[in-house]
Amino acid sequence: MSSIQKIKGFADLFPEDSRSFTHMEAQARAVFGRYGFGELRTPLLERTELFAKGIGEDTDVVGKEMYTFTDRGDRSLTLRPEATAGVLRAAIESSAIEPGRATRLYTFGPMFRYERPQKGRMRQFHQVNAELLGSAEPQADVEVILMLEDFLSSLGIADLCFELNSLGCRECRPGYRAALTAYFEALDHAKLCEDCRRRMHTNPLRVLDCKVPACKALVADAPVIGEHTCQGCRGHFAAVLSLVDRAGLKYTLNPRLVRGLDYYQRTTFEVTSGAIGSQTAVAGGGRYDGLVKLLGGPDAPGVGFACGMERLAMLMDKPEAPCPDFFLAVTDTREGTGALDAALLLAHKLRARGLSGECDYQAGSMKSRLRHAGRIKAKKCYILGAEEFDAGQVTVKDMEEGDQLRLDISAFD
């Protein structure tokens, strides 16, 4: 009988991998906390309409990639494909968005999209997200961008490129969409991929984000959003760039930068790395004024970002496993002496003192036990052999210095 195997696109994270994720979460809490952000945990499962309204019906995420099913209550439910919509739903439902006050929230955890597994992106993947709600000022955009830079720097990741663009707003975007559609209509449609032939009518900005080489070549001369933005959007973006310059952040203007979700407008940004092949984006975000109102809340602006934790883990140095304070080695191989019971109770006393370590409940030779203590880099090896057990003692060996001494087990009471 064959064993049950994991689902394609889903990964098991053993300690050597999960340590990277735990480190990222710890750094996120530390950095985001300095900016006044609080942690929010939202459900993995939401009503499908939340993502259909929030992300956009014509996006690839909603159209082709969501894990959606009907539950026993005949409700359409979806495993979250991204975090922002769920964060806003929670903030709206709990009345956490108050006029005149910024709401700062962050979250992290697994997301789900049915797409072809690839390097750094699985069907279950993990993200770090931050959302600043209630502030329409360009200073809010820059604060979020600088917080992202601080977070990535705290992970020791270098050689990253920040790309910035403005996507306009609800007033000036229609003119740009019309110009794009007219440009695409004049192309040889047969040279566009099937998705882009559909997108050119339903969501023309997404054609600019297509990774198919033929499509990238065809849109090289397409109109850019900067030629169509209104005075308000130009002023907002100019203020963002001025502040980013004054903060000393190096960036590149990318007039072709769009985001894959419909709710973005005005400032948008992406962080890329050339160290992980063609899948270069490791983080991205931007402003999404109007989304809170679309989801049934007040007309509150918002700006935020998401980081792909799998891709960040590929760029990070792997955190080393913490060295245990002790390894308790039982070398009394006599049957029925109670040495293994004594070892368990001694280990419990050591942990009660705040020490970390492990005990092997299979008696063995001194050589093999010391070898294991060295392999796990234990600071001390506590040895309970026949002579020690009969005397109510334990030998403590300093694994670095090599010194050892005997102590009464009662000394740890």
The Cα–Cα gap between 179 and 181 comes to: 6
The Cα–Cα gap between 270 and 285 comes to: 6
Domain finish residue from 282, 315, 348: 315
Residues 389, 271 share a domain: no
Q: Which residue has the higher pLDDT, 65 or 211?
A: 65
Residues 390, 247 share a domain: no
Domain finish residue from 267, 289, 315: 315
Residues 131-151 have a mean pLDDT of 96
Token readout for 173 is 């975007």
User: Is residue 64 in some structural domain?
Assistant: yes
Query: Residue 279: what pLDDT?
Result: 57
Query: Residue 261: what pLDDT?
Result: 59
User: Is residue 210 in some structural domain?
Assistant: no
Residues 244, 146 share a domain: yes
Residues 369, 296 share a domain: no
The pLDDT tens digits for 362-373 are 767 788 888 888
Token readout for 131 is 């959302």
Residues 158, 38 share a domain: yes
- Can you say how many angstroms the Cα of residue 232 is from the centroid of all Cα atoms in its chain? 33
Q: Which residue has the higher pLDDT, 109 or 121?
A: 109
Residues 397-406 have a mean pLDDT of 89
Residues 334, 278 share a domain: no
Query: Residue 250: what pLDDT?
Result: 93
User: Is residue 195 in some structural domain?
Assistant: no
Lowest mean pLDDT among 8-12, 94-98, 273-277, 332-336: 273-277
Residues 59, 134 share a domain: yes
Beta strands 76-79 and 380-384, pairing class? unpaired
Residues 309, 370 share a domain: no
Residues 370, 233 share a domain: no
User: Is residue 364 in some structural domain?
Assistant: yes
Q: Which residue has the higher pLDDT, 158 or 308?
A: 308
Query: Residue 355: what pLDDT?
Result: 94
Residues 156, 110 share a domain: yes
pLDDT > 60? residue 218: yes
pLDDT > 70? residue 259: no
The pLDDT tens digits for 281-340 are 899 999 999 899 989 999 999 999 999 999 999 898 888 888 999 999 988 878 878 888
Q: Which residue has the higher pLDDT, 57 or 290?
A: 290
Query: Residue 120: what pLDDT?
Result: 65
User: Is residue 221 in some structural domain?
Assistant: no
pLDDT > 80? residue 105: yes
The pLDDT tens digits for 18-37 are 999 999 999 999 999 999 99
The pLDDT tens digits for 173-199 are 788 888 888 887 777 666 777 777 777
User: Is residue 209 in some structural domain?
Assistant: no
Domain finish residue from 315, 344, 375: 315
Residues 51-71 have a mean pLDDT of 79
User: Is residue 365 in some structural domain?
Assistant: yes
**What per-residue string of b and e applies to 328-355 under the rule 16 or more CB within 10 Å gives b?**
bbbbbeeeeeebbebbeebbeebeeeee
Q: Residue 63's domain is classified under what CATH number? A: 3.30.930.10
- What domain count does the chain have? 2
How large a percentage of the chain has pLDDT more than 70?
Answer: 95
Half-sphere exposure of 169 (CA within 13 A, CB side): 13
How large a percentage of the chain has pLDDT more than 90?
Answer: 48
| pLDDT band for position 129 (cuts 50, 70, 90) | very high
pLDDT > 80? residue 214: no
Residues 77, 141 share a domain: yes
User: Is residue 67 in some structural domain?
Assistant: yes
| pLDDT band for position 99 (cuts 50, 70, 90) | confident
| pLDDT band for position 115 (cuts 50, 70, 90) | confident
- Domain range for 367 is 326-412
Residues 285, 262 share a domain: yes
Q: Residue 348's domain is classified under what CATH number? A: 3.40.50.800
